[in-house]
């Protein structure tokens, strides 16, 4: 039995590696999916990969109008909205606080916090009658560890945990659950921030990182997709306000042990 049969899901940042993985997983379990992304071509490619039960929408999550439009697209196509995966986010530039332009702070906060807030503000009215699940991507291991030169990113990630708890409390009366997923290092191009097209360099980087993770493996996009699908489903019907780590035990150790150039995934 498909857990999301007859339901509709909205995924922001849906053209990225993690957004795509979650879109494929939810669609495979029966959901109609709206792929929202600032990069319209990428969103269309993911929607085409899924097929008839997916549509693509260009959306800038820092724009209230765009957030309203992507929710409206879900309602027009599927007649409902049951699941929101607020996944859009940015990692930010690696620069120490004293030398950081405030424009960089505003940019990161604008996407990682304002973007999540606007997404939820637009989606909740469409979910009130039937209830549903909101999953926030933004509380990665950056909310547990400290990384030199990542002040805006780290602050935004820590704040998302508080956002998940607050929204969970406020929206419980409408049977809307709110949780956050918290990935550690995931094998994506954004994690490998070194200027190299050498596949061997990619493999060496992640192999070195795996040595520093208790479970001795680097996370895969499928690991995130499985966790999002769980939290979005009725299997997690009594879970709300949680921030769930997906890190193989990474946060049991210090980021100071990470390979040079490592940075959290988005």
Task: Answer whether 35's CB lies under 8 Å from 88's CB.
Answer: no
Is 174 annotated in the active site?
no
SS (H, E, C) 220-253: CHHHHHHHHHHHHCHHHCCCCCCEEEECCCHHHC
DSSP annotation of 111 reads I
Task: Answer whether 185's CB lies under 8 Å from 250's CB.
Answer: yes
The count of C-alpha atoms lying within 13 angstroms of the C-alpha of 229, restricted to the half-sphere facing its C-beta, is 24
Buried residues in 36-72 as b, exposed as e (16+ CB within 10 A): bbbeeebbbebbeebeeebbbbbbbbbeeebbbebbe
Q: Which of 144, 153, 192, 255 is catalytic?
A: 153
| Residue 108 Cα to chain centre, angstroms | 14
Give the separation between CA 29 and CA 32, rounded to whole angstroms.
Answer: 9
Give the separation between CA 196 and CA 204, rounded to whole angstroms.
Answer: 12
Q: Which residues are catalytic?
A: 153
């Amino acid at each position: 039995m498909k857990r999301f049969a007859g339901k509709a899901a909205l995924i922001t940042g849906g053209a990225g590696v993690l957004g795509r993985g979650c879109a494929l997983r939810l669609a495979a379990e029966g959901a109609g999916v709206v792929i929202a992304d600032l990069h319209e071509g990428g969103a269309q490619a993911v929607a085409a990969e899924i097929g008839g039960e997916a549509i693509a929408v260009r959306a800038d999550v820092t724009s209230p109008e765009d957030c309203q439009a992507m929710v409206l697209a879900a309602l027009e196509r599927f007649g409902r909205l049951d699941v929101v995966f607020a996944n859009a986010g940015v990692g930010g530039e690696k620069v120490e606080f004293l030398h950081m332009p405030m424009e960089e702070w505003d940019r990161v906060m604008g996407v990682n916090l304002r973007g999540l807030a606007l997404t939820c503000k637009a989606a909740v009215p469409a979910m009130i009658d039937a209830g549903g699940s909101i999953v926030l991507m933004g509380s990665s291991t950056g909310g547990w560890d400290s990384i030199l030169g990542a002040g805006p990113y780290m602050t935004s990630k820590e704040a998302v945990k508080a956002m998940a708890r607050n929204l969970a409390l406020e929206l419980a009366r409408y049977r809307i659950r709110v949780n956050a997923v918290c990935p550690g290092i995931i094998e994506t191009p954004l994690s490998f921030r070194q200027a190299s097209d050498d596949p061997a360099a990619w493999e060496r980087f992640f192999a070195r990182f795996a040595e520093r993770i208790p479970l001795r493996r680097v996370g895969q996009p499928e690991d995130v997709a499985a966790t999002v699908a769980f939290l979005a489903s009725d299997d997690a019907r009594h879970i709300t306000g949680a921030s769930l780590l997906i890190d193989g035990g990474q946060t049991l150790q210090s980021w100071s042990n990470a390979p040079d150039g490592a940075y959290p995934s988005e």
